[in-house]
Amino acid sequence: MSAATPPDAPARRRSRDELRAAGRAAAQRVPIASHGAWIPARDRPDPVALLADQATTRFPDLVAIRHGRMAVSPFTFYRGAALPMAADLAATDSTGITVQLCGDAHLSNFGLFASPERDLIFDINDFDETRHGPFEWDVKRLAGSIVVAGRDRGFAAHDSRRAAMRAARSYRTHIAEYAATRAIDVYYARVDTASVLAYAEKRARPFLKQTVKAAVRRDALHELPKLTEVGPDGRRRIVDRPPVITHRPEASHDITAASLSSYRESLAEDRRVLLDRYEMVDVAMKVVGVGSVGLGSFAALFMGEGDDDPLFLQVKQAEASVLERFLGPSSQPSHGARVVSGQRRLQAVSDVMLGWFVGPGGRHWYVRQLQDQKGGAVIEAMTIDDLAAWGDLCGWALARGHARSGEPAEIAGYLGDGDAFDDAMGRFAEAYADQTKRDHAAFVAAIDAGTLPAERGV
């Protein structure tokens, strides 16, 4: 008589063939072509109301800055409207094939940063909304952002759609490659700058080379004279530039020092040793981005032995992911821990100072380096070739992250070998760009009517 299986025994791993078959079965339930349709539900939540409700938990004096930044264009609105899009995606049929989602995979949330080995890596770089969910939600968020950005730049409609389709094709083909790769090799896979420049078409290389060049220069030592000054007491201090950089009671030295001791405990032992070589000398609120404006975001300046040894840490508030309204709460102990866990699952390599803590008043936070050779997408400077190449790289990085955190063979089985998925994503991106234009117009109208506060040009 065989022994009973222990109740806590891990489930049997499905073979690649079984995973591919599960993916094909999902395609029977939710045909690939169906993803191309976007028709707003009759009971679709008002996106302006969703955004107004989201603002109630943020610093009131910063909400107007967030709204002002979102009002600039449909693309800046799209960047801040992760919640309305999550509500829209939740109303669509789901494949049920889950991965660790970025949750806000628009093209400005990808970029370059330095690995611990000081190599430049291209990857996802924002995880505020990360949570497990259907893989296609991230791909749709990316594809939609490409068409919205293309329209903002005045590119031809068919060129913007083809750029979105190219990103989807990149995702699909790289998922297929990872599906045939050993799990350990998927884990070690990286999209480094050598691969980026070799992979890119000739016409897009000057833009990418300039982005790489700018990223190499942008480190803590480079930012030191831009963000700080030496006071009469001989100590460095972050310079106030209101309303974007300000010293506030919420960022007092005592509060932050106490909280950072808790953050220290979230680090591996060797990173604690590194942190202990620095002394925190100042901290100020620093408003960044679009979607996260209004949440706490502090720049903490640490100094080592000399004036040439600065360390800037970014301390960012983490709230519930917008996806949790529709997919349920995260299993992590805090939202800071959720962000850190999601980042480690999705990124090829993560910041050595990445950690989290729960601060005064029960606010949740995560911590990373503020500047560590980072380079992002400058949409305003892109040609259509640049946009298509950047979207291609985003699709690659997203596929690698999904392959690390999910089952690439199941996704590959769903997507198949043809271009049906690419076409569906192109059609969806165009239709959702139309929706974004309408939502942006309603948002601006609410500002003009005085319903929403907004401070422009900040």
* pLDDT of amino acid 404: 96
Q: Is the residue at 454 inside a domain?
A: no
Distance CA 395, CA 375 (A): 17
Type of residue numbered 241: R
Same domain, 198 and 274: no
Of the residues 339, 369, 399, which one is the last residue of a structural domain?
369
Label the pairing between strands 364-369 and 375-376. unpaired
pLDDT of amino acid 7 = 46
Dihedral of CA atoms 423, 347, 208, 200 in degrees, nearest 10, equals -50
b/e code 245-266 from CB counts within 10 Å (16+ = b): ebbeebbeeeebeebbeebeeb
- CA-based R_g, the chain, Å: 22
Final residue of a structural domain among 342, 369, 396: 369
- Residue 411 has phi, psi (to 5 degrees) of -65, -45
Number of domains in the chain: 2
Confidence (pLDDT) at 265: 94
| Predicted confidence (pLDDT) per residue in 392-426, tens digit | 999 999 999 999 999 999 999 999 999 999 999 99
* Residue-range definition of the domain harbouring residue 252: 220-369
Whether residue 225 is found in the same domain as residue 346:
yes
What burial class does residue 123 get, using C-beta atoms within 10 Å of its C-beta: 0-12 exposed, 13-18 middle, 19+ buried? buried
Is residue 10 situated within a structural domain?
no
**Is 458 inside a domain boundary?**
no
Q: What is the pLDDT of residues 56-77, one digit of tens each?
A: 888 888 999 999 999 999 999 9
Which residues of 160-262 form beta strands (DSSP E)?
228-230, 236-238, 245-246
Same domain for 407 and 299: no
Shared domain for 207 and 87, answered yes or no, is yes
Bridge-based pairing state of the strands 355-358 and 310-317? unpaired
- The reply to whether 339 and 202 lie within a common domain is no
361 CB neighbour count, 10 Å cutoff: 7
What distance, in Å, lies between the first and last C-alpha atoms of the chain? Answer: 73
Flag residues of the chain having pLDDT under 70.
1-10, 215-219, 253-254, 371-373
The CA-based dihedral angle spanning residues 349, 352, 357, 360, taken in that order and rounded to the nearest 10 degrees: -130
Burial class (CB in 10 A: 0-12, 13-18, 19+), 349: middle
209 and 115 belong to one structural domain: yes
Q: Note whether 103 and 151 are same-domain residues.
A: yes
38 inside domain: no
pLDDT digits (tens, 9 = 90+) for 143-192: 999 999 999 999 999 999 999 999 999 999 999 999 999 999 999 999 88
**Of the candidates 369, 403, 421, which is a domain's last residue?**
369
- Assess if residue 265 is contained within a domain: yes
Contact 430, 158 (CB under 8 A): no
Do residue 190 and residue 256 come from a single domain? Answer: no
Residues 304 and 288 in one domain: yes
pLDDT at 117: 72
Show the CA angle centred on residue 210, arms to residues 205 and 216, nearest 5°: 125
Are residue 238 and residue 190 in the same domain, yes or no?
no
Residue 128 DSSP label? T
pLDDT at 59: 87
> Both 231 and 332 in a single domain?
yes
Residue 227 lies in a domain: yes
Task: Specify the pairing of strand 297-303 against strand 355-358.
Answer: unpaired
Q: Give the pLDDT confidence score for residue 4 in this predicted structure.
A: 45
| Beta-carbon contacts of residue 177 (< 8 Å; ≥ 6 apart) | none
Residue 406 placed within a domain: yes
Half-sphere exposure of 63 (CA within 13 A, CB side): 15
Please check whether residues 146 and 233 belong to one and the same domain.
no
Residue 107 counted as domain residue: yes
